[in-house]
Structure 1
Amino acid sequence: MRRMRTEEEKITGSQLGLLLFTFIVSTIILTIPGLMEMFAKQDAWLSVFPSITTGLLSIWVMTALAKRYPGMTIMQYSEKIIGKWLGKCLGFYYVYFWFMSISVMAKQHTFFIHTLLLPKSPSIVGSLTVLVLSGIAVYLGIEVIGRSTEFLTPMKMVLLLPLFFLTLRDLDPGQLKPVLAEGILPVLQGAIVPAGAFMNQMFILGWLLPYLNFPKKARKVSLLALLGISIFIFIVVLFTIMVLGPLTGKLNYSYLSVMQYIGVEGSFERLEAIAVSIWVLGSFEKIAVSLFILCLSISQLFGIRNYRDIISPVTLLAIIGSVWVFKNSSDLLAYLTFIYPSAGLITQSLIPLSLLLIDAIKRKAGRSLR
């Protein structure tokens, strides 16, 4: 089979938008209501609004950098902005970041499958299967990943939308009261987790924009994806609190509990099977994109001509990392709640923003010296 050259791979604007959308929504909808309710209590639905600002900032920064350095990933233009050696150091950090991210994603997938579906299977089974499938998808290229997302995302929405309508009969608006009982600070604290998710979503633009067939559509597509994600998360958090109330923050997969609760006896039962389907498909898409970014980053860092040449060893290392990264679900929950948001803020917002500022200063200084 003829290998497709990297520069020939292209994705459309709709595929990019769906990649951004599914990168967040597919897995986070089951966990984010509980994480937000831990801080904001019944006001967690309000936390969605301040969290959007990080997504807007990331979109502006990443699209501005891509416009200044067309056809380049953040790995490539970092060296042009801050110099070869500092750029290489930043590249090593991004490789480490994406390796850890894939390990965490695979471990999170493993815990979910082990808890809900295969409690007696070895924990490595979940990470092994999803990473091998993702490796195959990465070998086929980002264009194939984009096309699969174009097919899988609408299918997941078809499964989810009827659940929203089934939830309507069990909603209790009284669970949202009192509004802002403890002031605005808990709302801002509850916004930290979705803010990290929005940053992560838009951060991948640093690697995907060079593959967009019409780069001028990047900002519009990204904003539409952010709007869709914001509306979706708002509905999920709002419905979960209105159904479960104070129990939301005590459950690891709170929206899964909503699905189990709304089952109609004799008609619609075992609705958690839908949650499992959405989670598995979402984990595959998310890990495939992340693995593509990791392999692309390593190839650009070390000057490897084709990122496909390193997919097998990188996938193997990711499997090992998924086994090693966390011992139990409590460690994973602590990481997602306290460590990831702050690390994400530095990695996905402050560093790209610093690159943009440094580049702007260098260009302005260069013009003044002419």
Structure 2
Amino acid sequence: MQEMMVGADVSRKHQNFLQVIHSYYQLTKPRIIPLLLITTAAGMWMASDGRVDPFLLLVTLTGGTLAAASAQTLNCIYDRDIDYAMERTRRRPIPSGRVQSSHALLFAIVLGCLSFTLLALCANLLSALLAMSGIVFYMLIYTHLLKRHTAQNIVIGGAAGAIPALVGWAAVTGSLSWPAWLLFAIVFVWTPPHFWALALMIRDDYAKVGIPMLPVVAGEVATTRQIWIYTLIMVPMTLLLVYPLGASGVVYGIIAAILGSVFIKKAWALLQEPENKQLARSLFKFSILYMMLLCTGIVIDSLPKTHQLTAFVAEHIQTLISAIAF
């Protein structure tokens, strides 16, 4: 009955073509996509030693955008009952009646096909298959199997958000190696503290619709403890790109160490006050900035000019030390 009412409302609620475009744009949850693309870009720059082909960059980021948009649209279709029940999401295109589910499904399929075709023809088949695997994992494993059935949903489901890093590396090299998998692992381990901080803020919404997010099932104390543990695992992991892998250098290492120390400080503060929603909000917002700046650090560190500068500084430091020793 609800579905019939939603479908009947579409023509009434859209007054012009621009509003239709805007509704389909909203289906893709565009605020999420830039964070996925920055990890893709980081993988590309690291894989190419800072010499990314502009056309390949454009193709890969466009393909990644289309794949992410397809996945988010499918998620909006699957979760339309939850979105309708929660005040925060009730005004999204499908529960508000501005887009029919069947139309959204067609839109998602077209986006996915465009993504695969673009990546397969202009990058390589591996990057295209990885992008498609991200859609499948996000929908089948996270949204269908995990989200509504286990408090560990975001832990396992975080792999979907980490796949873009592999797509970026594969687009450049046509293969996957240890640095690519480590970048994947960093994003994977970052996802639980990032998402649980948000879940702490909107715990009541999840409880209302019966989604077993960790704060709902285990409470704030257990959730903040898990955030703390994952943070302590994640920060040292980011430094493994410097040593032993040697995929990034000292500039990235300094950036990662500074960002990691701030993340640890915020996670510790939340651990001391598990019910403080302002601290949860602060950690959530910083976690977004953290990942964006960490990936930016990878890009900056990979640039040839950065290599030249660090080599120049290292040479002069060594000369100074030698002079002092004598």
Q: TM-score, normalised by structure 1?
A: 0.28
**TM-score (normalised: structure 2):** 0.31
The one of the two structures with greater contact order (alpha-carbon pairs below 8 A, sep at least 6) is: 1
